[in-house]
Structure 1
Amino acid sequence: MLTIGAKLPAFDLWAVVSVDPVKAFIRITNESDAGKWRIIFFWPKDFTFICPTEIAAFGKINGDFAGRDAVVYGVSTDSEYVHLAWRQNHSDLVDLPFPMLSDIKRELSAAFGILHPEEGVALRATFIADPEGIIRFVSVNDLNVGRNPQETLRVLDALQTGALCPCNWQKGDDVLKAA
């Protein structure tokens, strides 16, 4: 699995950005949004139970990420057409403000090293990459445990300070001073 200090792998994937079939599909690459912080989170499958709760939660705080010069990309091994159908049929995903990337060939999931060995789908993995494309945070959950997007935002805030942030640090709290 890729970890802290690794460079984001190269990728070029179809993404769904709308429920309108005419405007829904765009390409997203590792060069898209260069110079911004990137939050890349993976989920196992569309049309499931835990996944939409996480995706919708990321969507609700997308503006907070954008306000920190960060973009969010959601990724699964489903096709862009499955993503579109899911968005069109799930009320929590209709107005999703970030792209849903299709890793149908599983190349990006494999490059990140987060494919479940038996199921062949992506684990619930979250990566934060800095503006240079260097991974600064990694979190991976098993298939049956949802993640906390607020924690991802908290970690982004801490990373952006460039300082020493203690346990449970929150934006606006004092950072540690080295003696």
Structure 2
Amino acid sequence: MLTVGNRLPEFDLQATVDIEKPSTAFARITHESHPGKWRVIFAWPKDFTFICPTEIAAFGKLEREFADRDTQILGLSTDSEFVHLAWRQNHDDLRDLPFPMLADVKRELSQALGILDEKEGVCLRATFIVDPEGVIQHVSVNGLDVGRNPQETLRILDALQTDELCPCNWQKGDDTIQVA
């Protein structure tokens, strides 16, 4: 699995970005998309499941806060863009998602990141925070049965963006550690 200090692998994937019109439903997203921005890439095992939409919707509700921090959210699974589209059209909590859902059907990005569950062949619940230079600054991975906390991802992003020493449970606006 890639970790802190590794570069985000190159990728070029189809993504579901809209559900209103077939002509604008899909877009290509690459490792070069969103230049100069931080990126939060979070992966889930499968569309049309139970834990996944709770996480995806929670990231969607925080999108404005991530955007205020010059950060692009990118969702990722091994389902196709058509499955993503159908899921969004049929799940009220996912209809208005403000971020792309990447379709890694060939499992190239998932494999390069090292997040494919060997037994199931699907993505683990992995979250990567990538800086504007394409370097991974944070990684967390949950088992398939445990959802993650997008608010914690936002807190970690805030800490990383201070470029200072942040103590345990640090929150944006708290004092950082000053070394004399």
Identify the TM-score tier after normalising by the shorter chain: over 0.9
Structure 2 CA distance, aligned partners of 1:60 and 1:93?
10
The aligned residue for residue 121 of structure 2 is 120
Structure 2 CA distance, aligned partners of 1:35 and 1:23?
25
Letter in 1 for 2:111: A
C-alpha RMSD over aligned residues: 0.4
The aligned residue for residue 177 of structure 1 is 178
Structure 1 CA distance, aligned partners of 2:132 and 2:138?
13
Structure 2 CA distance, aligned partners of 1:178 and 1:116?
41
Determine helix, strand or coil for the equivalent of 1:154. Answer: helix
- Structure 1 unmatched ranges of 5 or more: none
Letter in 1 for 2:104: D
The aligned residue for residue 97 of structure 2 is 96
Letter in 1 for 2:118: P
Structure 2 residue 48 is matched with structure 1 residue 47: yes
Structure 1 CA distance, aligned partners of 2:89 and 2:7?
34
The aligned residue for residue 34 of structure 2 is 33
Letter in 2 for 1:16: T
1:159 is displaced (CA, Å) by: 0.2
The aligned residue for residue 17 of structure 2 is 17
The aligned residue for residue 136 of structure 1 is 137
The aligned residue for residue 75 of structure 1 is 76
Structure 1 CA distance, aligned partners of 2:63 and 2:148?
15
Any residues of structure 2 matched to 1:51-70 within 5 Å, and which?
A: 51-70=52-71
Determine helix, strand or coil for the equivalent of 1:117. Answer: coil
The share of aligned pairs that are identical, in percent, is: 72
The aligned residue for residue 8 of structure 1 is 8
Q: Deviations over 1:22-55 (max 9, x none)?
A: 2100000000001100000000000000000000
Q: Deviations over 1:65-112 (max 9, x none)?
A: 000000000000000000000000000000000000000000000000
Determine helix, strand or coil for the equivalent of 1:92. Answer: helix
Q: Deviations over 1:121-150 (max 9, x none)?
A: 000000000010000000000000000000
Structure 1 CA distance, aligned partners of 2:25 and 2:112?
26
How many pairs are equivalent? 179
User: When the two structures are superposed, what TM-score results if normalisation uses the length of structure 2?
Assistant: 0.99
